[in-house]
Amino acid sequence: MKLLMQPKCYTDVCLHGKWFHHDHGGTSAYMLGSRVVFDLGMMPTTDEELEACLEPIAKVQQEHDYYVNVH
């Protein structure tokens, strides 16, 4: 689905158990509950593009949490 490029429009999406917030028209996102901002490398214009940008970030975060909890 196409993202609305209007002020105050945003998407919150959950990938690999991690929630991310993205303000439409921007090139970054952050994980909810965190102050870390991730550069997406592009300005997503669809839900699919946003998820594709966040997928590798979410996977690394999930692996990091697993490593921290196991060790």
pLDDT grade, residue 32 (50/70/90)?
Answer: very high
Question: What pLDDT is stored for residue 62 in this prediction?
Answer: 83
48 domain residue, yes or no: yes
Inside any domain, residue 24: yes
Task: Report if residue 5 sits inside a domain.
Answer: no
Residue-number span of the structural domain to which 30 is assigned: 10-70
- Asked if the structure places residue 3 within a domain, the reply is no
pLDDT at 19 over 70: yes
pLDDT at 23 over 90: yes
Q: How far is Cα 71 from Cα 69, in angstroms, rounded to an integer?
A: 6
Give the separation between CA 28 and CA 70, rounded to whole angstroms: 30
Domain assignment of residue 2, yes or no: no
Over residues 45-57, the pLDDT tens digits come to: 999 999 999 999 9
Domain membership flag for residue 1: no
How many folded domains does the chain comprise? 1
Residue 32 domain-assigned?
yes
Query: Is residue 35 domain-resident?
Result: yes
